[in-house]
Chains A and B, each alone.
Chain A
Amino acid sequence: MNRRTHGLARHTALLTAAMLALGACTGAGSADDDLLAKAKAAGTIVMSTDPEYPPQSALATDGSYEGFDIDVGTEIAKRLGVEIKFETPSWEAITAGSWSGRWDFSVGSMTITTDREKVIAFTEPYYFTPAQMAVEADSTIASVADLAGQSVCVGAATTYQQWLEGTLDFGTKTPDVAPAGVEVVALTTDRNCAEAWQAGRRDFEGWLSSSTTVQGAIDAGLPVKQLGEPVFAEPLAVAFDRSGPDPTSMVTEVNRILAEMHGDGTLRDLSMKWFDEDLTTSTGD
């Protein structure tokens, strides 16, 4: 009895101390106006990642993270001369901006879109993935056009959802128009769509995701097949929050690092390691 009260008291004391310390931290502000300066001063940079997205990001059995995005983020931090840490918020929370400083950047295969540009500051693309439509292995649907009037599953707040809803805009060039009258089923993350099929659910006929994710499901033995050619190719970039400390100098610095990583073959090697193909140059279609 006594021990337990002690335990509780200790927890409470620790928490109170933590809250006080945090309260003290937030009082500061002057040196935090520039993201790059802030990261260098702290010696760490926090990256957000969605570990339900292999081979870009996944959990290892020891609780660490692994994947293409994890390797790229780690290499960027190394070349910035800081330690990297990871946070795992939901994808929607990442693309919505207003990170409130909970994490500093996203190396999360985020597509550069005009919409996101309003709240997110992007670097140049670090790689490109084709968006691939998929159907169940025994489906009779023969082409993407046949999905008109059917329902298609996507990860919530992805470019795949925006494309189907007709709101996707890369700024530079517009992808082909999506099939008309598609009913969108948006789940928390892309893989949930394949999981639903795996569980025997027939709530939708198609699934739109990156070719790497679709391939991952096929490799895992799920009853999924690719449908036709990729529907569009996406430029994927490192992202920063516009509402936080000014990311301008950080974007410049990370752009320099990415150019370096493109140039010395680091990115190509990582792409070969995780995707078995080189996705680091624009498909140029």
Chain B
Amino acid sequence: MASVGHHGQMQAPVDQVRIETSAAMVEAVAQSRRREQRRFRLTFVGTWLILCLLIVGGLVAANKIDLEFLGRWQQFILTGIPVTIVVSATSIAIAVVFAILGALGRLSPRPVIYAIASFYVSLVRGTPLIVQILFIYLALPQIWEGFAGVPTIVLGIFALAFNYGAYMTEVFRAGIEAIPRGQLEAASALGMTDRMTMRRIILPQAIRIVTPAIGNEFIAMIKDSALVSLLGVQELLWRAQRVGTQNFRALEALLVAAVVYWVLTIIFSVLQDRLEKRMAESDRRL
């Protein structure tokens, strides 16, 4: 900067040319980078398509796939998709409630509440999800008969929500702690009680902060929801497995299930990506 001021007058035309040349160069570089990016993306999509075609085409060509079986049973298997989605969505919704309670407990200054919340998180995170599911289904009714009357789908949803709630507790705690202290001070200066501050100031912002994380958990949940097939909930995997064994067509049936789970996670990942971008944008506007 200083040197420009020094030789300012004399070097002006030269500088002009330099600026124009460099602008053109920047444009050229940008263009070639865009072209490269486009080529990269095209190659990426192309490679995926070729890989899929190779796998599917190879299996069909090798006569490993019974297309007649697929045609006859695909409808029955695919009917499991709404069940899988409802189980996952409901479980996540309830898990959010568990997570908020867990996070509030983990941030509580009261030792008993803090201990209870920590106990919950430790218990759930320290045991396998499949053990929790089987325990809720097989063992709880022996402790309290009332559990036996609960439909298995509700038990499955509860087990998944209970588990994910514990993992999401830490996410929510981080979300709550991300609210600047100044806001708490401002709220108390306005005469708000702690509870009011939590409800009106902190939680609304915290939930917004953790929304992308909830999306991630939902995608993971879609896959873990397959575990409730163990309870006889007729979701995607249950249907695929029964039909596969019944007809000695495990390859086709499991292939269908795998592809559906994969496609579902891809769709929700794209939605999740968009949501994240949109939220980032509105953050910038703030």
Q: Which residues of A contact B (CB under 8 A)?
A: 7-8, 11-12, 15, 18-19, 22-23, 25-26, 51-52, 54, 58-59, 61-63, 87-90, 93, 98-102, 189, 191-192, 194-195, 198-199, 217, 220, 222
Instruction: Tell me the B114-158 residues at the A interface (CB within 8 Å).
Output: 138, 141-142, 145-152, 154, 157
C-beta contact mask, B81-100 vs A, less than 8 Å → 1, else 0? Answer: 00000100110011001000
Assess whether B150 is in contact with A19, with CB atoms less than 8 Å apart.
Answer: yes
Assess whether B79 is in contact with A23, with CB atoms less than 8 Å apart.
Answer: no
Q: Between A and B, how many residue pairs show CB distances below 8 Å?
A: 87
With A52-B246, A101-B148, A220-B248 as given contacts, are A19 and B154 in contact (CB-CB < 8 Å)? yes
With A61-B72, A61-B75, A61-B76 as given contacts, are A217 and B142 in contact (CB-CB < 8 Å)? no
Q: Of B79, B89, B141, which contacts A8 at CB under 8 A?
A: B89
Contacts of B146 in A (CB 8 A): 22-23, 26
Q: Is B268 an interface residue (CB 8 A)?
A: no
With A59-B243, A191-B248, A195-B250 as given contacts, are A11 and B151 in contact (CB-CB < 8 Å)? no
Contacts of B154 in A (CB 8 A): 15, 18-19, 22
Instruction: State the CA gap A11–B92 with chains docked (Å).
Output: 11
Q: Is B43 an interface residue (CB 8 A)?
A: no
Closest 10 CB pairs of A and B: A100-B148, A26-B146, A100-B141, A8-B93, A52-B245, A88-B232, A11-B90, A101-B148, A220-B248, A22-B149
Assess whether A198 is in contact with B248, with CB atoms less than 8 Å apart.
Answer: yes
Tell me if B's interface is mostly helix, strand, loop or mixed: helix
Q: Which residue of A lies closest to B231 (CB)?
A: A89
Q: Is B223 an interface residue (CB 8 A)?
A: no
Q: Is B247 an interface residue (CB 8 A)?
A: yes
Contacts of A195 in B (CB 8 A): 245, 248, 250
Contacts of A194 in B (CB 8 A): 248
Instruction: Give A186 Cβ to nearest chain B Cβ, in Å.
Output: 15
Assess whether B246 is in contact with A58, with CB atoms less than 8 Å apart.
Answer: yes
Q: Which residue of B lies closest to A9 (CB)?
A: B93
Contacts of B242 in A (CB 8 A): 51-52, 59, 88
Instruction: Give B198 Cβ to nearest chain A Cβ, in Å.
Output: 20
Instruction: Tell me the B149-179 residues at the A interface (CB within 8 Å).
Output: 149-152, 154, 157
Q: Which residue of B lies closest to A14 (CB)?
A: B90
Instruction: Give A211 Cβ to nearest chain B Cβ, in Å.
Output: 18
Contacts of A100 in B (CB 8 A): 141-142, 145, 147-148
Q: Of A59, A93, A192, which contacts B138 at CB under 8 A?
A: A93
Assess whether B245 is in contact with A191, with CB atoms less than 8 Å apart.
Answer: yes
Instruction: State the CA gap A136–B232 with chains docked (Å).
Output: 31
Instruction: State the CA gap A22–B72 with chains docked (Å).
Output: 37
Instruction: State the CA gap A205–B169 with chains docked (Å).
Output: 50
With A51-B246, A100-B145 as given contacts, are A12 and B76 in contact (CB-CB < 8 Å)? no
Q: Of A11, A59, A93, which contacts B76 at CB under 8 A?
A: A59
- Contacts A63-B79, A88-B234 known; list 13 others, CB within 8 Å: A8-B89, A12-B90, A19-B154, A25-B149, A51-B246, A52-B246, A54-B246, A90-B232, A93-B138, A101-B145, A192-B245, A195-B250, A198-B250
Contacts of B149 in A (CB 8 A): 22, 25-26, 101
Instruction: State the CA gap A52–B152 with chains docked (Å).
Output: 20
With A19-B150, A101-B149 as given contacts, are A12 and B94 in contact (CB-CB < 8 Å)? yes
Contacts of B75 in A (CB 8 A): 61
Assess whether A62 is in contact with B76, with CB atoms less than 8 Å apart.
Answer: yes
Contacts of A101 in B (CB 8 A): 145, 148-149
Instruction: State the CA gap A36–B145 with chains docked (Å).
Output: 20
With A88-B232, A89-B232 as given contacts, are A12 and B141 in contact (CB-CB < 8 Å)? no
Q: Which residue of B lies closest to A194 (CB)?
A: B248
Pairs across A and B, CB under 8 Å, 28 listed: A11-B89, A11-B90, A12-B90, A18-B154, A22-B151, A23-B146, A26-B145, A26-B146, A26-B148, A52-B242, A52-B246, A59-B242, A59-B246, A61-B75, A61-B76, A62-B76, A63-B79, A63-B234, A90-B230, A93-B138, A98-B142, A100-B142, A100-B147, A101-B148, A191-B246, A191-B248, A195-B245, A199-B250
Contacts of B246 in A (CB 8 A): 51-52, 54, 58-59, 191
